[in-house]
Amino acid sequence: MAVHLVLKKVMNNDFILNSEYISIFEKNGVVLLKNMINKKWQRILNDAIEEDIKKPGPFFHSYKTEDGKGNFHGNMRIWEHYQGLKDYCTKSPLPYFAAQLLNSNKINLFYDQLFVKEPETKNCIRWHNDQPYWPIRGWPVISLWTSLDPISKNNGPMEFISKSHKWGKWYQPEHFAPGASKAYEQNPEFEKIPDIDSNRDKYDIISFDMNPGDLLAFHALVVHGSTGNISKNRRRRGYAVRYTGDDVFYSTDKGSHLDLRNPELENGNLLDSKQYPVVWEKDKNVY
């Protein structure tokens, strides 16, 4: 028992986030955490992503490319089918990072999502905030996004409007690429996203150069998007894991993505379920 406690303390210290990171996340809705994912996890991600590109899991939703060049592979809920990703989402330090950033005693895995933009894939991801797409309500909700490729201006960095998570705005979901089959339900409580690209100088837009191993942590209501990968030879394999903190609950409100809904839950239920498992609890987990 004593040995276990000592081990627990050492590991906790290894993964304690600097309080400055937490303040930046709370203030701006996004923070870059440098060098957080070790090579072992990067290899696991690499293998699973290549496997998913070759043989996609059931929620595959390739986006049509804008000029026929490149390739944009999208998928989600992949952890449910690949042990390596399940381990990354549930047993890596990620849930503990989420707990610290969200100041929560319990963390549920909500889902994971892949966005692979091959070289010369000009598609942007339109400006949006995430939570209107999701059948969940409550404040402590976060994505931890990483890329297996170095990211800079030309190969599709994520962009964020700093502090927009506090605007109190929920924007009507729209598809990320033309040609998608089913439109999102309209929710009268959501509003149309403004034309940010035509007025970029009016917004505090921030983006980050990244290296493999870095993590971008962003709040579910921060407005964000990503630019196209216009490079001729650099890939951009982005992978996001979404986590929820204390008291987040299931919602059947209109507008959310059908593939993220959970038949086990009813409106107002806490999320604990097979699809959204508890992955970290204060005083119970090693990290």
Ligand X SMILES: O=C(O)CCC(=O)C(=O)O
The footprint of ligand X (CB under 6 A) covers 113, 115, 125, 130, 143, 145, 158, 224, 226, 238, 240
Return d(Cα 208, Cα 48) in angstroms, integer: 25
Smallest distance, ligand X to C-beta of residue 14, A: 26
Q: What is the widest separation between alpha-carbon atoms in the chain?
A: 62
Q: Which is nearer to ligand X, 156 or 245 (CB)?
A: 156
Q: Which is nearer to ligand X, 234 or 285 (CB)?
A: 234
- List CB contacts of 79: < 8 A, sequence separation 6 or more: 85, 86, 88, 89, 90, 109, 111, 112, 241
Q: Which is nearer to ligand X, 143 or 285 (CB)?
A: 143
Return d(Cα 213, Cα 160) in angstroms, integer: 20
Q: Which is nearer to ligand X, 17 or 76 (CB)?
A: 76
Smallest distance, ligand X to C-beta of residue 282, A: 27
Smallest distance, ligand X to C-beta of residue 273, A: 22
The CA-to-CA distance between both ends of the chain, in Å, stands at 16
- What is the DSSP pairing of strand 249-250 with strand 141-147? unpaired
Q: Which is nearer to ligand X, 57 or 238 (CB)?
A: 238
Smallest distance, ligand X to C-beta of residue 227, A: 8
Return d(Cα 63, Cα 22) in angstroms, integer: 34
Of the candidates 75, 35, 36, 39, which has an alpha carbon nearest to the alpha carbon of residue 55?
A: 75
Q: Which is nearer to ligand X, 116 or 265 (CB)?
A: 116
Smallest distance, ligand X to C-beta of residue 161, A: 13
Smallest distance, ligand X to C-beta of residue 158, A: 6
Helix (H, G, I), strand (E, B) or coil at 256: coil
